[in-house]
């Protein structure tokens, strides 16, 4: 093979410069990245040789060796992992803006301070932070007998070359020719510290040559503890180790809120280490994206993002599961159909829900802000755990009087008024519009708290959340006979439908005949002339909005028009004898109620016209 020359895609060079520049204060992470790649390559090789024993032998001593060459100012990271064929070298090392790097660049643009950078997975190209030239000499395990090894060379200047190389052992050597300014890194103590700091949890030995004074020879010494963290005794794992492991498996730069580490025994035995992150990834709503646990079988890494162990509404949970009781050649399809997996999923789900329930209050608010709307999906999705999930819910309410101050359902029940029989809630597009909804007047006056729900998912969730601890939920947007209490003397007088009012109601119903179901007198409002409710079994306004936002046709809702006969405006309207004028006023009142309920009118110009003509009339009277 002749030496072949390639160049990167055009923007790559700029990206590389940007990365090198912003990582400079944290340059030691290049070693973490290269060790992580070496360890991935070894995990892949382990897996292939174990699952295809016929073709590959598994007697190898897997290890990562780091050579420091002071004379030539070189560092070599050598692994005996899977290696790469020529096409793989081109595919894997030929583009800079791989996923990790892209996310990274995005973060630099957003976040100007530097301290987060050390924890970011930035990949192979971080080698150029310290190296002026990088060689990759690699022999794929599939080319062991053909000896088709390749050498990749680049100055990080937008070009690279590939040629045939000499390499007899399977694996990859990454050779860094250090920049003159970086040669002080060629120091055993420095390298050992970096490995301890970032790569201690890697469960493959990372070795470095040390001089043995007594024997007068160099020998390879293991630097990291090289154990699979989850196999260790909980008591022996420090908080730091748990956190570092989290960052390693997730590439998340934030610390997790909490974690849970358990060995579960039963028909299938397994160990789980589950983390609750503190920040939700920006693409958590991307349904195409696979999320899930990392699967190990007897400490051998099998695959990432195995979603079969988690219900969808817990897709933000990260961690690993390790079991001896599944075959190495397990596939996603097998997992999907395996009945034991369902049992494991159930156990894991319960476990996580309890872990979440036990998050300290001060941290829980943060958790809720990040993941609350995802947890809400569980109310509909997971009937068996509905009660447990209900206990995790937080709401703002009339009484908390702030969008960001929450209360749990337990707290709501504890604060209920003596006579109160239901848990009341309102759904709306936004907190502000819910808070000012006329339906709340009545509850404010009676000092009955109402939960304020204003997220897209809420209306849908409330279809499934019908009661809590035996107490029923009731929407204040729905017509509720029990609120029109006539046992009270004052109410009785207001709501009494005399012959005269009966006639007026009939008249109004005729004017609005296609638009409403019926007219009902109410004593519920103090400041509002009229408002709409939907009948108990009819679709709510919010639900209709959700459907039409999803592109579905919804039949027009027929509302119940609740009129407040005590309101000055209504009192006066009821006195109007001119039919045409009366109809005009009623239409205005109805449109107002629609505005309050929906936030918009089908034909705003008609409403404006009517209002204007009424305003002009009032001026004429003043004159």
Residues at the contact surface with ligand ADP, assessed by CB under 6 A: 33, 37-38, 41, 79, 81-82, 84, 92-93, 98, 100, 121, 123-124, 172
**DSSP character string of 205-246:** -EEEEEEETTTTEEEEEE-S----GGGS-GGG--HHHHHHHH
How many residues make contact with Mg ion (CB under 5 A)? Answer: 2
Contact 559, 532 (CB under 8 A): yes
Is 98 or 164 the residue whose CB approaches Mg ion more closely?
98
Q: Does 37 sit near Mg ion (CB under 5 A)?
A: yes
CA–CA distance, 176 with 445 (Å, rounded to integer): 74
Q: Which residue is nearest to Mg ion (CB)?
A: 37
Q: Does 323 sit near Mg ion (CB under 5 A)?
A: no
Query: Cβ of residue 90: shortest distance to ligand ADP, in angstroms?
Result: 11
Q: From 37-45, 77-85, 310-318, 440-448, give the range in contact with Mg ion by CB under 5 A.
A: 37-45
Q: Which residue is nearest to ligand ADP (CB)?
A: 123
Q: Does 250 sit near Mg ion (CB under 5 A)?
A: no
22 binds, among ligand ADP, Mg ion, none (CB under 5 to 8 A by kind): none
What residues contact 219, with CB distance under 8 A and at least 6 apart? 209, 210, 212
84 binds, among ligand ADP, Mg ion, none (CB under 5 to 8 A by kind): ligand ADP
Query: Cβ of residue 36: shortest distance to Mg ion, in angstroms?
Result: 5
Query: Cβ of residue 167: shortest distance to ligand ADP, in angstroms?
Result: 12
The tokens of 567 are what? 């309101």
CA–CA distance, 619 with 623 (Å, rounded to integer): 6
459 binds, among Mg ion, ligand ADP, none (CB under 5 to 8 A by kind): none
What residues contact 84, with CB distance under 8 A and at least 6 apart? 92, 136, 138, 140, 150, 172
Query: Cβ of residue 536: shortest distance to Mg ion, in angstroms?
Result: 58
Is 88 or 480 the residue whose CB approaches ligand ADP more closely?
88
Characterize the bridge pairing of strands 318-323 and 293-297: parallel
Is 41 or 389 the residue whose CB approaches ligand ADP more closely?
41
Percent helix, strand and coil across the chain, each rounded to 5?
45, 20, 35
588 binds, among ligand ADP, Mg ion, none (CB under 5 to 8 A by kind): none
The tokens of 147 are what? 């000896």
CA–CA distance, 599 with 591 (Å, rounded to integer): 11
Query: Cβ of residue 248: shortest distance to ligand ADP, in angstroms?
Result: 12
CA–CA distance, 23 with 20 (Å, rounded to integer): 5
Query: Cβ of residue 45: shortest distance to ligand ADP, in angstroms?
Result: 9
Is 32 or 545 the residue whose CB approaches Mg ion more closely?
32
Q: Does 542 sit near Mg ion (CB under 5 A)?
A: no
**DSSP character string of 256-296:** PSEEEEEEE-SSS-EEEEEEE-SS--TTTT-TTS---EEEE
| Binders of Mg ion in range 109-128 (CB under 5 A) | 123
The tokens of 56 are what? 């590959």
Query: Cβ of residue 37: shortest distance to ligand ADP, in angstroms?
Result: 3
- Site residues for Mg ion per CB under 5 A: 37, 123
């Amino acid at each position: 093979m002749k030496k072949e020359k390639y160049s990167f895609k055009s923007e790559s060079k700029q990206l590389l410069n940007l990365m090198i520049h912003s990582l400079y204060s944290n340059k030691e992470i290049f070693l973490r990245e290269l060790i992580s790649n070496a360890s991935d390559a070894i995990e892949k090789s382990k897996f292939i040789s174990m699952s295809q024993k016929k073709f590959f032998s598994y007697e190898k001593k897997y290890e990562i060796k780091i050579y420091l060459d002071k004379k030539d100012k070189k560092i070599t990271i050598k692994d005996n992992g899977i290696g790469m064929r020529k096409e793989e070298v081109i595919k894997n090392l030929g583009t800079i803006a791989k996923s990790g790097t892209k996310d990274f660049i995005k973060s630099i643009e957003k976040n100007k301070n530097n301290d987060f950078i050390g924890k970011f997975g930035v990949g192979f190209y971080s080698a150029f932070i310290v190296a002026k030239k990088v060689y990759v000499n690699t022999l794929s395990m599939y080319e062991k007998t053909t000896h088709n090894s390749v050498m990749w060379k680049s100055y990080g200047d937008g070009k690279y070359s590939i040629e045939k190389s000499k390499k007899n052992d399977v694996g990859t050597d990454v050779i860094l020719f250090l920049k003159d300014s970086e040669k002080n890194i060629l120091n055993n103590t420095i390298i050992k510290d970096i490995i301890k700091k970032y790569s201690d949890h890697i469960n493959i030995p990372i070795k470095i040559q040390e001089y043995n004074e007594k024997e007068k020879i160099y020998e390879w010494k293991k630097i990291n503890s090289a154990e699979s963290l989850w196999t260790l005794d909980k008591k022996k794992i420090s908080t730091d180790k748990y956190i570092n492991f989290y960052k390693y498996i997730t590439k998340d730069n934030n610390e997790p809120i909490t974690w849970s580490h358990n060995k579960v025994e039963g028909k299938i035995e397994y160990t789980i280490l589950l983390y609750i992150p503190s920040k939700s990834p920006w693409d958590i709503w991307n349904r195409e994206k696979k999320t899930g646990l990392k699967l190990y079988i007897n400490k051998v890494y099998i695959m990432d993002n195995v979603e079969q162990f988690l219900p969808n509404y817990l897709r933000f949970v990260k961690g690993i599961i390790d079991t001896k009781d599944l075959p190495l050649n397990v596939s996603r399809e097998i997992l999907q159909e395996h009945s034991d997996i369902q049992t494991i999923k159930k156990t894991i789900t319960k476990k996580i829900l309890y872990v979440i329930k036990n998050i300290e209050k001060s941290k829980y608010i943060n958790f809720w802000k990040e993941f609350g709307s995802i947890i809400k999906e569980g109310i509909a999705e997971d009937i068996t755990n509905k009660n447990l999930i209900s206990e995790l819910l937080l709401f703002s309410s009339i009484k908390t009087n702030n969008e960001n101050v929450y209360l749990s359902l337990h707290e709501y029940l504890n604060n209920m008024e003596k006579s109160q029989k239901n848990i009341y809630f309102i759904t709306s597009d936004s907190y502000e519009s819910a808070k000012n909804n006329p339906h709340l007047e009545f509850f404010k006056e009676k000092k009955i708290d109402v939960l304020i729900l204003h997220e897209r998912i809420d209306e849908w969730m409330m279809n499934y959340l019908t009661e809590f601890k035996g107490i029923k939920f009731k929407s204040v947007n729905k017509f509720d006979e029990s609120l029109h209490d006539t046992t009270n003397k004052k109410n009785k007088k207001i709501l009494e439908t005399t012959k005269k009012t009966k006639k007026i109601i009939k008249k109004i119903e005729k004017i609005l005949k296609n638009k409403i179901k019926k007219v009902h007198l109410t004593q519920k409002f103090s400041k509002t002339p009229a408002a709409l409710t939907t009948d108990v079994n009819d679709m709510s306004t919010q639900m209709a909005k959700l459907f039409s936002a999803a592109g579905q046709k919804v039949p027009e809702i027929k509302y119940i028009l609740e009129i407040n006969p005590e309101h000055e405006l209504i009192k006066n309207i009821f006195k109007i004898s001119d039919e045409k004028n009366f109809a005009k006023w009623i239409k205005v009142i109805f449109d107002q109620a629609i505005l309050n309920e929906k936030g918009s009118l089908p034909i705003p110009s008609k409403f404006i016209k009517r209002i204007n003509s009424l305003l002009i009339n009032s001026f004429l009277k003043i004159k």
